[in-house]
């Protein structure tokens, strides 16, 4: 891309970031769920489920995640750590698309296991990350193996957690990391995790972001996989080397809200 074209694109995308990186963005987005909480662990858990459920209609995603939070007494961390076996019966009819009670009960078991040993979910990712790593690839691969390290893992549940080694674009987990890592200065993301750097984040690559990126010739690969997510992120680093994922606001809004 020519220098003048790159500069024009930078100006345009920065304008869109400024337009949509605003508190009003929260209301109709799944990030609204963790914004209901103040406790770190509740933000982490509510955000995780909101991101995990984030495929399909955004209103349905918010509705189903809200339903789950209510089943957890709107205190997900306390529930997962201190629940009794009989308390789990309430989840036996919960489902969202292909996510069913078997998957949910394993998630609850994982969170109980993790939070009994760690004060934050951040360590579930950062144990696989080094400062010199270009992206969160190793962190996501580590998280996958750690998440499924409990005994008697339901094989069906594995499909709900993506990983780069499986060539997935990891859209939902990359979105979750954006929420937790990017600074809260725009009032949307949380900035509660400090050991993952913003320049290591990878763009959440969904069909809308991909379509807009291809229309601007920001990516050349045909597949919508991890390598393409990294390709797009590297391009965006030309515009903002320390925080390329800020352009998720621009690309997503152009694709979903403006029907670009």
Which residues does residue 99 pair with via DSSP β-bridges, in sequence order? 96
pLDDT-derived band at 136 (thresholds 50, 70, 90) equals: very high
Q: pTM to 2 decimals?
A: 0.97
Can you tell me the distance from the alpha carbon of 207 to that of 216, in angstroms, rounded to the nearest whole number? 14
Mean of the per-residue pLDDT values of the chain: 97
Q: Would you say 98 and 88 are in contact if contact means Cβ atoms under 8 Å apart?
A: no
Tell me the residue range of the domain where 11 lies.
3-257
Can you tell me the distance from the alpha carbon of 119 to that of 77, in angstroms, rounded to the nearest whole number? 11
Which residues does residue 162 pair with via DSSP β-bridges, in sequence order? none
Q: Three-state DSSP class for 199?
A: helix
pLDDT tens, residue by residue, 190-212: 999 999 999 999 999 999 999 99
Can you tell me the distance from the alpha carbon of 200 to that of 170, in angstroms, rounded to the nearest whole number? 14
Q: Three-state DSSP class for 96?
A: strand
The total domain count for the chain is: 1
Q: How many helices (DSSP H) and strands (DSSP E) are in the chain?
A: 11, 0
């Amino acid at each position: 891309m020519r220098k003048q074209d790159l500069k024009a694109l930078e100006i345009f995308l920065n304008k869109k970031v400024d337009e949509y990186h605003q508190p009003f963005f929260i209301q109709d987005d799944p990030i609204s769920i963790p914004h209901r909480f103040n406790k770190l662990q509740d933000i982490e858990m509510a955000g995780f489920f909101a991101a995990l459920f984030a495929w399909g209609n955004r209103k349905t995603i918010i509705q189903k995640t809200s339903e789950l939070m209510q089943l957890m007494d709107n205190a997900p961390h306390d529930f997962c750590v201190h629940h009794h076996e009989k308390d789990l019966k309430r989840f036996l009819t919960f489902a969202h698309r292909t996510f069913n009670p078997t998957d949910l009960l394993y998630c609850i078991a994982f969170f109980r296991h993790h939070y009994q040993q760690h004060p934050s979910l951040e360590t579930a990712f950062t144990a696989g990350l080094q400062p010199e790593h270009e992206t969160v690839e190793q962190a996501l691969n580590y998280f996958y193996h750690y998440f499924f390290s409990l005994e008697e893992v339901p094989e069906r549940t594995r499909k709900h957690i993506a990983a780069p080694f499986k060539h997935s674009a990891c859209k939902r987990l990359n979105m979750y990391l954006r929420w937790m890592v990017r600074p809260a200065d725009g009032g949307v993301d949380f900035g509660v995790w400090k050991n993952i750097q913003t320049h290591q984040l990878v763009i959440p690559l969904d069909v809308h972001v991909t379509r807009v990126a291809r229309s601007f010739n920001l990516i050349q690969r045909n597949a919508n996989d991890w390598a393409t997510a990294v390709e797009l992120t590297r391009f965006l680093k030309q515009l903002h080397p320390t925080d390329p994922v800020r352009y998720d606001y621009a690309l997503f809004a152009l694709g979903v809200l403006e029907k670009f």
